[in-house]
């Protein structure tokens, strides 16, 4: 990194400190407004979208500065982007979208004025996404969409759902899928939050009953959505890889301090576990920088993004399992128990990360991708 890169770091750090939005509100409505206000502050000051082209409101940063941005953003403890649009849908629209779609959707998404949620998985089509059954029937200049989506993060606060639908016959599988942008407030859209192990509702199921979607909201060609899916999923697995690395650098430091306070570091086995986590969090950073480099060089993260996704998922599970073991009996106390250690954050993290090897493609899917695309092992022929 050059001297000017380090100057950028200092400028960014100063901006994040000076404009820090303060503590996270407890109320759901207040918290959403707080997050949106922060995203608008970032955008209006020119500090949003480190990898986005400038023409869509981004910063178009060099490789070194993208790394710096993700490191400093994670350290600052400021709100992350809302929904799943900026890291997943945006790269797809930037590459495949029509000019009118880029003009209409990208800036409001980045500023946080519109929240996006991903509508891919279905009750019978999760890992086998090409088996999806939500249909879109062409009726003049609109599609009529019927079906159900599940495990849809942020759907309860979303304005737009970027959704996969079947426009081909039932047996068409991947060759009959299209990519639609659905107004989440349109008639016929019903969203039901799903409570998870933490007691919160971070996922939703979405019902689509005769929802009318303009053909102009189709990204790419009809029945040509599968290549777009691969772009979206690749960026989903790559999105925030450096941010996650910086986040877990801080989280591991806090776990080490917890172990010290509890006198656990006198135990050689505890030190060995912490050393293993230390090595892995450093590897995570190197993997994140490689992912950014691949995107900048090729426009896509490529199959290596599965390596990053799998590594992070297993790491955060192992870290929180160890944290709960370290707490002993206190590891049974939830966030709302007055005797919980550090307000129950480690127990909450343990419960939350049970889903880490399922979300954004199961660990089995990641391993298949690594085996087939990186190691060149035999694969089943696509149907």
Q: Of 73, 97, 74, which Cα lies nearest the Cα of 85?
A: 97
Count of Cβ atoms closer than 10 Å to residue 216 Cβ: 12
Instruction: Spell out a b/e string for 220-258, using b for 16 or more CB atoms within 10 Å of the CB, else e.
Output: bebbbbbbbbebbbbbbbbbbbbbbbbbbbebbeebbeb
Catalytic hit among 71, 72, 114, 236? 236
Q: What is the spatial distance between Cα 159 and Cα 291, in angstroms, rounded to a whole number?
A: 29
Question: Which of 106, 120, 237 is CA-nearest to residue 178?
Answer: 120
Q: Give the number of C-alpha atoms closer than 13 A to the C-alpha of residue 340, restricted to the C-beta side.
A: 15
Tell me how far apart the alpha carbons of residues 376 and 383 are, in angstroms, rounded to a whole number: 19
CB 71 within 8 A of CB 80: no
Q: Alpha-carbon distance 244 to 248, whole Å? A: 6
Please count the other Cβ atoms lying within 10 Å of the Cβ belonging to residue 336.
Answer: 10
Active-site residue 236, yes or no?
yes
Residues with a known catalytic role: 236
């Amino acid at each position: 990194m050059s001297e000017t890169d380090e100057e950028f770091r200092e400028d960014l750090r100063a901006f994040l400190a000076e404009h820090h939005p303060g503590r996270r509100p407890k109320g759901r409505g207040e918290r959403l407004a707080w997050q949106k206000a922060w995203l608008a502050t970032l955008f209006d000051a020119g500090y949003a979208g480190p990898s986005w082209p400038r023409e869509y409101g981004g910063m178009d940063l060099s490789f070194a500065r993208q790394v710096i941005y993700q490191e400093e953003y994670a350290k600052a403890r400021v709100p992350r982007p809302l929904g799943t649009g900026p890291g997943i849908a945006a790269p797809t629209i930037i590459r495949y979208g029509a000019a009118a779609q880029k003009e209409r959707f990208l800036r409001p998404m980045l500023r946080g004025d519109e929240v996006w949620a991903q509508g891919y998985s279905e009750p019978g089509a999760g890992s086998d996404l090409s088996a999806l059954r939500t249909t879109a029937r062409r009726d003049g200049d609109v599609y009529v969409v019927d079906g159900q989506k599940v495990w849809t993060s942020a759907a309860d606060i979303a304005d737009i759902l970027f959704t996969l639908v079947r426009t081909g016959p039932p047996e068409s599988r991947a060759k009959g899928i299209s990519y639609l942008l659905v107004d989440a407030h349109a008639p016929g859209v019903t969203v039901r939050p799903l409570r998870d192990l933490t007691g919160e509702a971070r996922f939703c199921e979405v019902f689509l009953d005769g929802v009318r979607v303009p053909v102009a909201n189709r990204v790419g060609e009809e029945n040509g959505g599968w290549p777009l899916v691969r772009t979206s999923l690749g960026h989903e697995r790559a999105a925030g890889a450096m941010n996650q690395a910086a986040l877990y650098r801080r989280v591991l430091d806090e776990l080490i301090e917890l172990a010290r306070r509890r006198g656990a570091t006198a135990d050689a086995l505890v030190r060995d576990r912490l050393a293993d986590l230390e090595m892995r969090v450093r590897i995570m950073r190197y993997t994140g920088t490689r992912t950014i480099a691949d995107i900048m060089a090729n426009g896509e993260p490529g199959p290596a993004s599965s390596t990053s996704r799998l590594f992070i998922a297993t790491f955060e599970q192992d870290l929180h399992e160890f944290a709960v073991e370290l707490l002993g009996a206190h590891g049974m106390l939830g966030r709302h128990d007055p005797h919980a250690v550090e307000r129950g954050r480690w127990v909450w993290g343990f419960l939350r990360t049970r889903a880490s090897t399922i979300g954004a493609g199961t660990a089995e899917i990641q391993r298949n991708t690594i085996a087939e695309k990186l190691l060149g092992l035999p694969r089943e022929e696509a149907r």
